[in-house]
A and B are shown apart, each in its own frame.
Chain A
C-alpha cells in the first residue's frame, strides 16, 4: 500500500544546527502516529516542513505519489494536508463562526465571488456551524476569537483543522494548557477522526495517557533525528526512549 505521506532524508539547518536531520518516515491511512521527543527535538520543525511553513535544506516530501516539496502552504492545504498549531494561531478579531467559515469557504473553492453576500451563502455557513457544534463552541460562536478563554481557543484551533477535512491531520499538542475536564472533548474528536480509515493522523503529544489511549504507532525524535519508530509497547520499552524520558542525556537537549 502506498503511504499517504512520506518524508525522504528531510533535513533543515539553521546555520550549522540541524533542527531536523535526515528524517525518512512513511505514514499510512487509518493509522494514528504519535510523535514524541523532548523539547527542541524538532517535532514542530518537522511539522512546519511537512505543512510548508519552512522549506527543507535537503530531502523531499511526498503526499501519496506526488512530490510536494516545492508547494506553498496554501497549495499543500488544498492537496489535503491539514495542520493545527501548537501556539494558538487564529484570526483574533473575527468571530468563532467566521474563523471556521473561512476554512470551509477555502475548501469550497468557489473563487472570490466579490458581489455575493457572505452571510447569504447558507450552505457554507451551516457547514461551518456544524464544526463549531462538534467542537462544543456553539455557545460562543459569535464572540471574537480573542475573547475566548484559552481552552476554547484550543478547541477552535482543532475546529479549523477539522473544517479543512484533510487526508492528513497534523495536531501539534492539541490539549496543551487545557484543563482536565476540557481535554476529553478534543480527544474524542481525534478518536472520531481516527475511525475513518482513509485518514492519516499525526499527533505531537507529551501526555502519556493520551499517547497510550490513541497511538497505533510512536515515532521518537531526538536532537532532530529519528531514533525510534514502532508499536507503542515496543517503542516505550526501548532503552534510548527510557533514557530520553528519564532525563539521561538531557543536558544535550537544546
Chain B
C-alpha cells in the first residue's frame, strides 16, 4: 500500500507544478508584447506560440497513439508554402491567406489520408521510413520547383497591410498609434495576437481531443494495439484519423508561421532540422501529456535564442579566470545545449511534464 500513499501524495504536487508552469507560460505569451517589447523577444514569443501547436499536434501522434512519423514538418511546410505562394501571386490580402492556407491544409489532408491508408497497416518502423521518404520528396520538390517555391532561398512576400507596423489600430490625438504602457497599438501587435489567439485556440482544441473518447482510444492503441482491435476498434481507421487531424493542425500552424515571418523557405518549415527540434521538444517536455509540448518548446526555444547571450555574459564575467572563458565561449553553445539535454533526459526519463505528472514514471 506504500504505492498508494506515494502516488496520492506525490502526483498532485507534480501536476500542480506542471499546470502552474504552463499557466505562467500562457500568461507570459498573452502579455508578451507588453512584458517583452523588444523585437527579438517578439520573434521568440511568436515562434513559441506556433511551435506549441506544431509540437502538441506531433504529440497526438507519437505520444498518444504511438505513431512515429517524420513527415510532420512536411505538413507544416504545406500550410506555410500554400499561404506564401498565394500571398506572392495574389498580392497581400486576407483572401490570399484564406485561399492559400486552405489549399495547403487540403493538400496536407489528402497526403495524410493517402499515407495513412496505404501504410498505417505496416509495422511502425516501415511507417516511419515511408514518412521519411515522403518528407524527402517534398523537400526536393520545394527546392526544384523554384518558380513556385523560390527554391532553396525560399520567398519573401508582403502580408496584408492590416498587419503592418504602419497600420494604426487606435489613433491618438496626433494621429499616431495610441500607446498603452509604451506599446504602440499597431498592425504588428494585431499580427502577434492573431498568431497567439489562433495558437491558443488550436491548443485548446487538441486538449479537448485528448480528453474525448477518441483520446482514450488512441492511448489504448498505443498501449495494446491487438487488444484494442479485439474489443472492436478498427485500429487502422483510428490511426489514419489521428494522422489526418495532426497533419491538418500542423498545416494550420504552418499558415501562422508564414504570415508571421513574411518569409517561407525550406529552412524554416520543411527541413529535417526542424523535425529534429520538434522531436526533441516532445521528448524533453514529455510524450503523451500535451502540457509537455508547452514546456519542451519553451525550454528549447529559449535555449536556442538566449543560451549564446548567456554564455557571452558568462565569458566576459569570467574573463580573468583560466579556462572558464574558453568553455563559455558563445561558439560552444551547442556543446552546452547537448549537456542540458543529457541532464534533462537523465533526470526526467519520461520528459519533464511526463515525469512530474507521474506518467510512465513507474512501470
Contact = CB atoms under 8 A, between A and B. Distances in A.
Interface of A: 51-53, 72-75, 77-78, 83, 85, 89-94, 98, 101-103, 105-107, 110, 112-119, 121, 124, 146-147, 160, 164
Contact of A115 (B3, B212, B223, B360): B212
Contacts of A105: 213, 216-217
A77 B363 contact: no
Contacts of A119: 211
Nearest to B227: A89
B324 interface: no
B212 A116 contact: yes
B213 A91 contact: no
A187 B108 CA distance: 53
Contacts of A74: 229-235
A164 B226 contact: no
Contacts of A124: 213
B216 A118 contact: yes
Interface in B324-363: 359-360, 363
A112 B217 contact: yes
Contacts of B215: 118
Given A91-B227, A146-B363, A117 B220 contact: no
Contacts of A89: 224, 226-227, 230
B230 A83 contact: yes
17 contacts: A52-B230, A73-B229, A74-B230, A77-B230, A83-B230, A89-B226, A91-B223, A94-B220, A102-B216, A105-B213, A105-B217, A110-B213, A115-B205, A115-B212, A117-B211, A124-B213, A164-B232
A116 B233 CA distance: 18
Given A98-B216, A117-B212, A118-B215, A112 B223 contact: no
A52 B229 CA distance: 10
Given A74-B231, A91-B223, A114-B245, 16 more contacts: A74-B233, A77-B232, A85-B230, A91-B224, A91-B228, A93-B360, A102-B217, A105-B217, A106-B217, A114-B214, A115-B205, A117-B211, A118-B215, A118-B216, A146-B363, A147-B3
B277 interface: no
A92 B229 contact: no
Interface residues of B, number: 31
A93 B359 contact: yes
Interface of B: 3, 205, 208-209, 211-217, 219-220, 223-224, 226-235, 238, 241, 245, 359-360, 363
A73 B235 CA distance: 10
A112 B238 contact: yes
Contacts of B241: 112
B224 A90 contact: yes
- Can you list the 9 inter-chain pairs with the closest CB atoms, starting with the nearest? A77-B232, A106-B232, A91-B223, A112-B214, A73-B229, A118-B213, A74-B234, A103-B231, A114-B214
Contacts of B360: 93
Given A78-B232, A102-B217, A118 B211 contact: yes
Given A74-B229, A89-B227, A112 B213 contact: yes
Nearest to B236: A72
Contact of B220 (A51, A53, A102): A102
Contacts of B217: 102, 105-106, 112
A190 to B, nearest CB: 19
B56 to A, nearest CB: 15
Contacts of A147: 3
Contact of A53 (B211, B214, B226): B226
A91 B220 contact: yes
A75 B230 CA distance: 9
Contact of A164 (B219, B231, B359): B231
A160 to B, nearest CB: 6
A114 B212 CA distance: 5
Contacts of B245: 114
A74 B237 CA distance: 11
A124 B215 CA distance: 15
Given A112-B217, A116-B212, A118-B212, A106 B233 contact: yes
Contacts of B235: 74
Most buried by B among A74, A85, A90, A121: A74
Most buried by B among A51, A77, A101: A77
Nearest to A73: B229
Given A112-B241, A114-B208, A118-B211, A94 B232 contact: no
